[in-house]
Structure 1
Amino acid sequence: MSKPSPSFSDLNEMQTHAKAAADLLKQMSNEHRLMILCALGNQELAVSELNHLIPLSQSALSQHLASLRHAELVETRKASQTVFYRLKGDAAIRIIAVLQSLYCPEYQTTQCGEKL
């Protein structure tokens, strides 16, 4: 049984949000940024922890984190000299959860970031 095709009003609604959705997917289309977002999927991590998990130079990691901050997909918290990152916004959290369920089911989390 096939799904009904979207109505005209559904397409108008998508048109309203198409640029934001495309911008989000552009950020996620880079393998390194996607790995950063997946690492942050259910936790807050310090830059040093991310640098240990993601095989990038510190300079490259910083550039990717800046891009994700600019796109408002991550937010930071500073404690003393340590900067912590976490996902920001429902869209990023939900998409990362779906990607984890498809490609890394052993790490699947709920939308709140709790392990299933």
Structure 2
Amino acid sequence: MHVDKQPCGLSPESEYVELAAEVFAMLADATRVKIILALRGAGELSVTRLAEVVDKSAAGVSQHLAKLRLARMVSTRRDGTTVYYRLTDEHASELVVDAVKQAEHVVGSAHHHRGERGSA
């Protein structure tokens, strides 16, 4: 697609380019990527359960969740004294999945293509 014909938000001059870079910066941490993947698979989890899944301390996971919450990538639900976290929408999850697929592709095990186009 020619640059002049791109939708407004997808042009290099878009006002969203800087915000997009901030999204990538937010996801440029392995623990946050693991948290996104865990929530993608589970729907919602408590800090304690997330800490178990990503094999990090609850305090550390809580700090990452606070950043993801400020970035509006996760939201919360309280049930008594337990706070459950869930993805706000599918966008962060899709970015992480695409990044993992890119990583697989780079290391030569691009099996994510199998079944998508009918060839390996």
Q: TM-score, normalised by structure 2?
A: 0.70
Residue 28 of structure 1: aligned partner: 27
Structure 1 residue 41 corresponds to structure 2 residue 40: yes
Contact 2:75 2:86 in 1 (8 A): yes
1:1-116 equivalences in 2 (<5 Å): 4=1, 6-10=2-6, 12-14=8-10, 15-42=14-41, 43-99=43-99
Q: Deviations over 1:27-85 (max 9, x none)?
A: 11111111111111131111111011112122211111101001111000001111111
**Structure of higher RCO (CA pairs closer than 8 Å, 6+ residues apart):** 1
In structure 2, C-alpha distance between the alignment counterparts of 1:21 and 1:40, rounded to whole Å: 21
In structure 2, C-alpha distance between the alignment counterparts of 1:52 and 1:90, rounded to whole Å: 23
Give the gaps of 5 or more residues in structure 2.
Answer: 105-110, 113-120
In structure 2, C-alpha distance between the alignment counterparts of 1:100 and 1:41, rounded to whole Å: 14
In structure 2, C-alpha distance between the alignment counterparts of 1:35 and 1:48, rounded to whole Å: 14
In structure 2, C-alpha distance between the alignment counterparts of 1:93 and 1:30, rounded to whole Å: 14
Contact 1:41 1:97 in 2 (8 A): no
Number of equivalences = 101
Q: TM-score, normalised by structure 1?
A: 0.72
Cα RMSD (Å): 2.3
Percent identity between the two aligned chains: 28
Counterpart residue type for residue 16 of structure 2: H
Cα displacement (A) at 1:88: 1.0
Give the gaps of 5 or more residues in structure 1.
Answer: 107-116
The structure having more radius of gyration, on CA atoms, is 2
Moved over 6 A (4+): none
